[in-house]
């Protein structure tokens, strides 16, 4: 009993640590990759004993300290309680969604076989969508509680945008669910360990390429970053829904954005890129299609899988930062047209085609 | 679900529902509603109805109440000037509520505990529920979606400005 609780909380803490560590990478990319794209040097001033570590000290030590030490402005006419609650409502659901994301297969310690997933729910995907839909309250409330028209506009834009893109996102996942015949993310990741024609890892991208594109676009829209940053819209709304936030609360909103970026990365990796899978790595070690095998201990396998998962997260976080610094912002009508007239019909078509293909394959075999 | 957990959650549900009804600020009322729905979802989890719990959060808390908030914010409703009911009416309503609660407690306390229908393990999971939905209840399920589509078309038709011809 006690051991079970310890294992469960250990897994949850480990998953959150992965998420926050990759988020730190995201922040670092945001500073340095953007600088490379714009032909600048980027953060390089802050250093500890002369060690700037390519701006790591700047982004991961100096910036947070600066934010935490800034004045927490008390607004006149604002709703204090909701104003303070909003950043927490933005970040908590995003972190909670990581509970169902698997970060490895199993770890065998003695006779204990630990499933490397914080929570195994039979409604896995729906839980993620539920948490995603709760995240919008942070934006809406921040917009309303600030007693500022720019914030209110940003909050209303945010809620309309998130609800619109949730539909395309959910429908894209219907195709994924049909392919794997399960809602559990761990089972999806395991199925991606199979091989097509004996050598090609059966990653989801091969079965659902369109769903991948729709999901990634909708995911970027959900994290409210350029090119979908209408709720923030620096050039029109000052800073949108978090115009009136300073210090730690402002930092929390920025953090929630990056946590959502990492969450989208984790989901993209799990649904379409094998999650924690390393090609040809099974529970007993590597089994290559040519016939060679390398036997490995369970903890080595788990370690390789976790590393693979984290590397995939870092890659997709980097990809989203590059997207953010490459594209200009959509106009509001373009945003809505893309969501409702572009992604939604495409995702419906994807569901139809997937259904036809699955039925045909079943009928033939 | 243990009895203590149930009692704590039940008290929380009642308190949050009271916020919905009694708070003078419509935004707080809407938030109280969200919180009530989320706690109800926890009850569903306790009853092994995981799918219902997830749908409860996605549909009710995540979509519908957001739209309530949306409307409240667009209309810029602030603290409402509460229409004060006459003391006689308020007193009567209070008495009726207490009588109803007492009646419920008395009646339920005397009722024999009926065994629930025997169910398989995991009956509230996605698969069993989906099977029922797509076999026994397929027609009502599809008719509901037609109804929703009609409602959307109607709302668009009503909300649309007259089309200028020629």
Give B57-73 pLDDT, tens digit per residue.
888 887 788 888 878 77
- Closest Cα in chain B to A127: B54
Q: Is the pLDDT of residue B87 over 90?
A: no
User: pLDDT confidence of B77, banded at 50, 70, 90?
Assistant: low
Q: Please, how many CA atoms are within 13 Å of residue B130, restricted to the half-sphere of its CB?
A: 11
The candidate with the shortest Cα–Cα distance to A86, out of A327, A240, A318, A253, is A253
Confidence at residue B163, expressed as pLDDT on a 0 to 100 scale: 65
Q: Containing H/E element for A116?
A: strand A112-117
The radius of gyration computed from the CA coordinates of chain B, to the nearest angstrom, equals 21
Kindly report whether the global pTM for this prediction surpasses the value 0.80.
yes
Poorest-pLDDT segment among A163-167, B118-122, B141-145: B118-122
The candidate with the shortest Cα–Cα distance to A176, out of A200, A211, A201, is A211
Minimal Cα–Cα distance from B40 to chain A, Å?
14
Q: Is residue B51 part of a domain?
A: yes
Does A123 sit within 8 Å of B50, measured CB to CB?
A: yes
The candidate with the shortest Cα–Cα distance to A325, out of A32, A92, A52, is A32
Six token digits for residue A272: 């379409």
Does A156 sit within 8 Å of B70, measured CB to CB?
A: yes
Q: Is the pLDDT of residue B82 over 70?
A: no
Mean pLDDT of B87-98: 88
The candidate with the shortest Cα–Cα distance to A333, out of A93, A117, A157, A150, is A157
User: SS3 of A282, please?
Assistant: strand
Q: Is residue B94 part of a domain?
A: no
Confidence at residue B83, expressed as pLDDT on a 0 to 100 scale: 63
Which are the contacts of A320, defined by CB distance < 8 A and separation ≥ 6?
A: A26, A220, A223, A225, A261, A264, A265
Q: Where along chain A do its domains lie?
A: 75-364
- Cα–Cα distance measured from residue A202 to residue A272, given in angstroms and rounded to the nearest whole number: 9
Six token digits for residue B145: 């979606």
Confidence at residue A1, expressed as pLDDT on a 0 to 100 scale: 67
Minimal Cα–Cα distance from B31 to chain A, Å?
9
Does B53 sit within 8 Å of A123, measured CB to CB?
A: yes
Contacts of B126 in chain A (CB under 8 A): 122-123, 126, 183
B73 at the A interface (CB within 8 A)? yes
Q: How many CB atoms within 10 Å of residue B133?
A: 13
Q: Is residue B128 part of a domain?
A: no
Most distant CA atoms of chain B, gap in Å: 73
Six token digits for residue B112: 């024999």
User: pLDDT confidence of B30, banded at 50, 70, 90?
Assistant: confident
Q: Is residue B60 part of a domain?
A: yes
Does A82 sit within 8 Å of B27, measured CB to CB?
A: yes
Mean pLDDT of chain B: 83
User: pLDDT confidence of B143, banded at 50, 70, 90?
Assistant: very high
User: What percent of chain B shows pLDDT beyond 70?
Assistant: 89
Domain count, chain B: 1
Q: Containing H/E element for A258?
A: helix A247-272
B122 at the A interface (CB within 8 A)? yes
Query: What are the E-state strand segments in A268-351?
Result: 281-282, 285-287, 293-295
Confidence at residue A365, expressed as pLDDT on a 0 to 100 scale: 79
Does B62 sit within 8 Å of A133, measured CB to CB?
A: yes
Does A121 sit within 8 Å of B58, measured CB to CB?
A: no
Confidence at residue A21, expressed as pLDDT on a 0 to 100 scale: 86
- Closest Cα in chain B to A164: B63
Which of B44, B66, B75 to probe by mutation at the A interface, max A CB count within 10 Å? Answer: B66
The candidate with the shortest Cα–Cα distance to A64, out of A32, A19, A23, is A23
Residue in B28, B34, B54 nearest the CB of A137: B34
B62 at the A interface (CB within 8 A)? yes
Does B74 sit within 8 Å of A123, measured CB to CB?
A: no
Most distant CA atoms of chain A, gap in Å: 72
Confidence at residue A215, expressed as pLDDT on a 0 to 100 scale: 92
Q: Is residue B142 part of a domain?
A: no
Q: Is residue B99 part of a domain?
A: no
On whether ipTM exceeds 0.85, the answer is: no
- Cα–Cα distance measured from residue A345 to residue A358, given in angstroms and rounded to the nearest whole number: 20
* β-pair type (A195-196, A112-117): unpaired
- Closest Cα in chain A to B26: A144
Q: Is the pLDDT of residue B91 over 70?
A: yes
Q: Is residue B130 part of a domain?
A: no
Are residues B54 and A97 in contact, defined by beta-carbon separation less than 8 angstroms? no
Which of A92, A119, A122 to probe by mutation at the B interface, max B CB count within 10 Å? Answer: A122
B79 at the A interface (CB within 8 A)? no
Are residues A309 and A269 in contact, defined by beta-carbon separation less than 8 angstroms? yes
Q: Which domain holds residue B78?
A: 1-82
- Cα–Cα distance measured from residue A112 to residue B107, given in angstroms and rounded to the nearest whole number: 50
Q: What is the CATH number of the domain that holds B66?
A: 1.20.120.1200
Minimal Cα–Cα distance from B72 to chain A, Å?
10
Q: Is residue B10 part of a domain?
A: yes
Minimal Cα–Cα distance from B73 to chain A, Å?
7
Which are the contacts of A228, defined by CB distance < 8 A and separation ≥ 6?
A: A161, A165, A220, A221, A329, A330, A335
Instruction: Give me the tens of pLDDT residue by residue for chain A, a chain 365 residues long.
Output: 677 788 888 888 888 888 888 888 888 888 888 888 888 887 777 777 777 777 777 777 788 888 888 887 777 777 788 888 888 888 898 888 888 888 888 777 777 777 778 777 778 888 888 888 888 888 888 888 887 888 888 888 888 888 888 888 889 999 888 888 888 888 888 888 888 777 788 888 888 889 999 999 998 888 888 788 877 777 777 777 777 788 888 888 888 888 999 999 999 999 998 888 888 877 777 777 777 788 777 788 888 888 989 999 999 999 998 988 888 888 888 888 888 888 999 999 999 999 999 899 888 87
């Amino acid at each position: 009993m006690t051991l079970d609780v310890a294992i469960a909380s250990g897994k949850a803490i480990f998953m959150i640590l992965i998420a926050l560590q990759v988020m730190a990478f995201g922040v670092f990319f945001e500073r340095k990759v953007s600088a490379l794209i714009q032909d600048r040097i980027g953060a390089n001033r802050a250093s500890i004993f002369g060690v700037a570590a390519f701006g790591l000290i700047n982004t991961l030590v100096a910036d947070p300290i600066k934010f935490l030490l800034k004045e927490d402005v008390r607004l006149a006419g604002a709703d204090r309680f909701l104003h303070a609650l909003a950043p927490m409502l933005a970040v908590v659901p995003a972190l909670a969604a990581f509970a169902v994301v698997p970060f490895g297969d199993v770890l065998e310690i003695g006779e204990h076989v630990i499933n490397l997933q914080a929570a195994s729910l039979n409604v896995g995907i729906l839980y993620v969508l539920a948490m995603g839909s709760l995240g919008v309250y942070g934006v809406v409330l921040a917009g309303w509680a600030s007693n500022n028209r720019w914030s209110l506009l940003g909050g209303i834009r945010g809620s309309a945008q998130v609800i619109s893109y949730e539909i395309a996102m959910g429908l894209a996942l219907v195709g994924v669910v049909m392919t794997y015949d399960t809602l559990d993310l761990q089972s999806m990741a395991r199925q991606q360990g199979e091989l097509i024609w004996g050598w090609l890892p059966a990653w989801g991208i091969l079965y659902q390429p369109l769903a991948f594109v729709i999901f990634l676009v909708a995911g970027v829209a959900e994290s409210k970053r350029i090119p979908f940053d209408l709720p923030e819209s620096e050039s029109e709304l000052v800073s949108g829904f978090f115009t009136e936030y300073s210090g730690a609360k402002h930092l929390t909103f920025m953090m929630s954005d990056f946590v959502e970026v990492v969450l989208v990365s984790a989901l993209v990796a799990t649904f379409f890129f094998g999650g924690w899978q390393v090609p040809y790595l099974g529970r007993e070690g590597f089994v290559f299609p040519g016939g060679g095998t390398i036997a490995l201990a369970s903890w080595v396998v788990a370690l390789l899988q976790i590393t693979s998962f984290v590397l995939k997260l870092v890659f997709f976080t980097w990809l989203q930062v590059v997207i953010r610094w490459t594209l200009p912002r959509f106009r509001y009508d373009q945003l809505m047209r893309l969501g409702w007239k572009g992604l939604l019909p495409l995702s419906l078509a994807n569901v139809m085609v997937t259904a036809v293909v699955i039925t045909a394959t079943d009928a033939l075999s | 679900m243990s009895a203590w957990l149930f009692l704590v959650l039940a008290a929380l549900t009642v308190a949050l529902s009271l916020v919905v009804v009694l708070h003078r600020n419509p935004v707080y009322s809407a938030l109280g509603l969200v919180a009530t729905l989320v706690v109800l979802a926890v009850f569903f989890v306790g009853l092994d109805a995981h799918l219902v719990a997830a749908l409860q959060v996605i549909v009710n808390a995540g979509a519908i109440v957001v739209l309530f908030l949306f409307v409240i914010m667009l209309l810029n409703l602030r603290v409402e000037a509460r229409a004060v009911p006459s003391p006689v009416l308020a007193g009567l309503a209070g008495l009726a509520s207490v009588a109803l609660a007492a009646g419920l407690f008395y009646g339920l306390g005397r009722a024999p505990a009926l065994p629930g229908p025997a169910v398989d393990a995991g009956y509230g999971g996605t698969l069993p529920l989906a099977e029922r939905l797509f076999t026994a209840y397929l027609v009502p399920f599809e008719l509901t979606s037609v109804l929703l589509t009609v409602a959307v078309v109607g709302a668009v038709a009503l909300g649309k400005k007259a089309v200028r011809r020629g």
